[in-house]
Amino acid sequence: MVKRGEGIMKEKKFTCDEEILKWLTEKNLSGIIKGINQNKGIINEKIASVIYCRSFIKKFEDEYNKIFNNLGFKISRITDDYIYISYIDSKIEFFIASSEFMRRYARVLFNNKNTIDDAILDKFQLVNTEENINKFIERCNNILEDSQYKLKSEVVDGKISNIMNIFKGEFLAKVNAEIFTRNIKKYLVKINGDAKRNTIAFIDRINTWNKVTVEV
Higher pLDDT among residues 147 and 216, named by residue: 147
pLDDT score of 132: 93
Binned at pLDDT 50, 70 and 90, residue 214 comes out as low
Using CA atoms, how far residue 69 sits from 116, 179, 182, in Å, is 11, 24, 18
Edge-to-edge strand list for the sheet holding 93-97:
73-78, 82-87, 93-97, 125-126
Burial class (CB in 10 A: 0-12, 13-18, 19+), 150: middle
pLDDT of residue 149: 96
| Higher-confidence position of 181 and 158 | 181
Residue spans per domain, the chain: 4-126, 130-211
Q: How far is CA 82 from CA 4, 19, 85, 98, in A?
A: 34, 18, 10, 5
Greater model confidence, 137 or 121: 137
Average pLDDT of the chain to the nearest whole number: 88
pLDDT tens readout for residues 99-126: 999 998 998 888 765 566 777 888 899 9
pLDDT for residue 5: 46
CA nearest to 86, candidates 151, 145, 152, 136? 136
Q: Tell me, what's the pLDDT at 191?
A: 86
DSSP-assigned beta bridge partners for residue 152: 165
Residue 140 has pLDDT above 60, yes or no: yes
User: Who has greater pLDDT, 6 or 194?
Assistant: 194
The pLDDT value given to residue 157: 74
Q: pLDDT over 90 for what percent of the chain?
A: 69
Q: Mean pLDDT lowest for which of 33-47, 126-140, 148-162? A: 148-162
Per-residue pLDDT at 155: 81
The pLDDT value given to residue 2: 40
- What does the pLDDT read at residue 190? 86
- The predicted model gives 47-63 an average pLDDT of 95
pTM, entire model = 0.85
